[in-house]
Amino acid sequence: MGRKTSPMNNTSCIVTLFMIVLCASNVFVCRGEWEPTWSTKAAEEAEAVAAIACSGHGRAYLDGLILKGMKKPVCECNACYGGSDCSKLLSNCSADAGSGDPYFLEPFWMERAASSAILVSGWHRMGYTYSDRTYISELLVKYIKKFHATVGNAITEGKYIIFGSGSTQLLSAAVYALSPTSSHSPAKVLATAPYYYVYRTQTQFFNSRDFSYEGDTSLWKNKTDKNSLFIEIVTSPNNPDGKLNKGVLQGPNVKTIHDRAYYWPHFTAIPSPADDDLMLYTISKLTGHAGTRFGWAIIKDKAVYEKMSTYMDVNTMGVSRDAQLRALKLLDVALEEDGKQIFQFGYSTLRDRWIRLKKTISKTKRFSLQKLSSQYCTFFKKERDPSPAYAWFKCERKEDKNCYKILEAAGINGRKGSLYGAEDRYVRLGLIRSKDDFEILINQLKVLVAKE
């Protein structure tokens, strides 16, 4: 007869077998070591793409590689570069200075590949809401408040915070929230030229009975009658000229939206924390991740906050949970050493570009740039030189009425002044794109200036 097995031995066998299964699936740490299972392939894909150099003149991305059957990602080359590895400099190529893609911060994040990376499971945040039944991560709200307190560029105490898909969506929500309802007189939306053209195009596009775009603020300075409500959009620092603007209109029937997208130490001096009733910020200009589409509004009035919240709930049911997760990770890394690393890197890069641009333009009287002066910055605790995101470029000769066409003929693509409510003898040139883009811009300008 065989030996009988006691119930205790059976239990021990079951426990041992269970532990083996858990170790095999890496639910537990076995023998003091942890080995990835389901994350391995995803990590290998990310590492493989990051290792593709594209000759330093382009980038390879995960798009496509994660699809079955795709063996190698394709290099996406910077402007004026081509070839399978972006090593070929294209001739007769125009400098791309039109868009505001903030690639100037890309080297900063490449140096922090490990600390800024995120790997998520396929079942991450599949529901519509967080566990508190809201669309907003409270942990991210706390981090945003902590970031502003550290930088000293906004007061958040006693105020409400709402998220949006970039500051563009929040702008629309803010105009809606500040406009009257059931009124025969729609709110007049205004901005002072030169202003960011989206203020006009977005307001006109939605064509609401509650608000309408009515042009430059200066046209209404002495016409703020009691029967009309005015919504003034103030951008500080301003896009396109980088100036620290203030509101023009005053009175009980004037509401103001403060666009603070560029109110960060790498773009401007921070003289004091902003304490406006409604302020818009975006991660695209803070960390450079424009494609993440994440922004936030800081709101003083509860009624305005509730109307904006309703707008966001009906419009998109909140911001992508994946975008909120990435924003949280990026802010955590950017807060290292109290933000000094990212802001010093960004400031030094843009200051040097501004200095080189001014030196190039100083050799001719045909062109000019906006005048910006150094200013004391409470974040850096010292006087800092200008480091604007854009050059507000002007053709000075009377006959050069269309500066955009003059630059276009010289191989430089910018954005014409009329987009910003100004004359077309102005052109906005972006300084925040990649190093390649800036070098090509400088070279094309040198050739243009040399023809004088």
Domain spans in the chain, listed from the N-terminal domain onward = 9-34, 40-93, 138-336, 339-450
CATH T-level topology, domain 138-336 = Aspartate Aminotransferase; domain 2 (3.40.640)
Tell me the CATH class for 40-93.
mainly beta
Which amino acid appears at position 276 of this protein? D
For residue 232, the cross-strand partners are 190, 256
pLDDT score at 64: 65
Task: Write the pLDDT tens digit of every residue in 128-141.
Answer: 999 999 999 999 99
Task: Write the pLDDT tens digit of every residue in 168-177.
Answer: 999 999 999 9
| CB burial of residue 416 (10 Å; 0-12, 13-18, 19+) | buried
More confident residue, 228 or 396: 396
pLDDT score at 3: 41
pLDDT score at 5: 43
Are the C-beta atoms of residues 433 and 349 closer than 8 Å to each other? no
Are the C-beta atoms of residues 403 and 393 closer than 8 Å to each other? yes
pLDDT, mean of residues 431-436: 97
In this model, does residue 451 exceed pLDDT 70?
Answer: yes
In this model, does residue 87 exceed pLDDT 70?
Answer: yes
Q: Is the peptide bond prior to 180 cis by the omega test (within 30 degrees of 0)?
A: no
Task: Write the pLDDT tens digit of every residue in 143-153.
Answer: 999 999 999 99
Quote the percentage of the chain above a pLDDT of 90. Answer: 81
In this model, does residue 14 exceed pLDDT 50?
Answer: no
Residue 250: partners with Cβ closer than 8 Å, 6 or more residues away: 224
Q: Residue 175: name the closest of 274, 296, 311, 276 by CA.
A: 311
pLDDT, mean of residues 63-68: 71
Task: Write the pLDDT tens digit of every residue in 346-403.
Answer: 999 999 999 999 999 999 999 999 999 999 999 999 999 999 999 999 999 999 999 9
pLDDT, mean of residues 25-43: 69
Q: Which helix (H) or strand (E) holds 303?
A: helix 302-316
User: How much of the chain is in helix, strand and coil states, percent to nearest 5?
Assistant: 40, 15, 45
Strands 375-377 and 230-235: unpaired
pLDDT score at 23: 43
Q: How confident is the model at residue 26 (pLDDT cuts 50, 70, 90)?
A: very low
Q: How confident is the model at residue 183 (pLDDT cuts 50, 70, 90)?
A: low
pLDDT score at 25: 44
pLDDT, mean of residues 69-97: 90
More confident residue, 17 or 105: 105
Q: How confident is the model at residue 283 (pLDDT cuts 50, 70, 90)?
A: very high
Q: How confident is the model at residue 16 (pLDDT cuts 50, 70, 90)?
A: very low
In this model, does residue 32 exceed pLDDT 90?
Answer: no
Q: Residue 78: name the closest of 390, 449, 434, 445 by CA.
A: 434
Residue 314: partners with Cβ closer than 8 Å, 6 or more residues away: none
pLDDT, mean of residues 174-198: 92
Determine the Cα–Cα distance for residues 250 and 218; give it in Å rounded to an integer.
12
pLDDT score at 226: 73
pLDDT score at 124: 94
Are the C-beta atoms of residues 117 and 123 closer than 8 Å to each other? no
pLDDT, mean of residues 212-234: 88
User: Residue ranges of the alpha helices (H) in 120-197?
Assistant: 138-151, 166-178
**Cβ atoms within 10 A of the Cβ of 385, count?**
15
CATH T-level topology, domain 339-450 = Aspartate Aminotransferase, domain 1 (3.90.1150)
The mean pLDDT of the chain is 91
Quote the percentage of the chain above a pLDDT of 70. Answer: 90
For residue 27, the cross-strand partners are none
In this model, does residue 21 exceed pLDDT 90?
Answer: no
Q: Residue 352: name the closest of 444, 237, 242, 266 by CA.
A: 266
> For tokens 């052109």, what's the residue?
427
**Cβ atoms within 10 A of the Cβ of 41, count?**
11
**Cβ atoms within 10 A of the Cβ of 396, count?**
12
Are the C-beta atoms of residues 135 and 317 closer than 8 Å to each other? yes
